[in-house]
Amino acid sequence: VYTFMGLAVKIKGTGFIDKLLPPVVIGPVIISIGLAMAPIAANMAMGKAGDGSELLPYRTAMMISMPALLTTLVVA
């Protein structure tokens, strides 16, 4: 698939991808994936597994996750 897409972009240019996957299609897909993963990310930031069982103490998890979040917000 990667080789085919690379060849198509080389031949037809980047406009090919915009016609195949316009922003009006890509946006809702990205939003849907993000919303589906939000509860898992919140659990992981609090030191829990995907099923809610505790992996790390809450304070340790916050000491790890908050600097990561702040770095992401500042850099982005």
Q: What is the count of structural domains for the chain?
A: 1
Position 14 scores a pLDDT of 85
Position 28 scores a pLDDT of 95
1 in a structural domain: no
8 in a structural domain: no
Q: What is the dihedral of CA 19, 20, 23, 24, to 10 degrees?
A: 100
Q: Sign of dihedral through CA atoms 35, 37, 39, 43?
A: negative
47 in a structural domain: yes
pLDDT under 50 in the chain at which residues?
Answer: none
16 in a structural domain: no
12 in a structural domain: no
- The pTM for the full model equals 0.62
Domain span including residue 35:
22-75
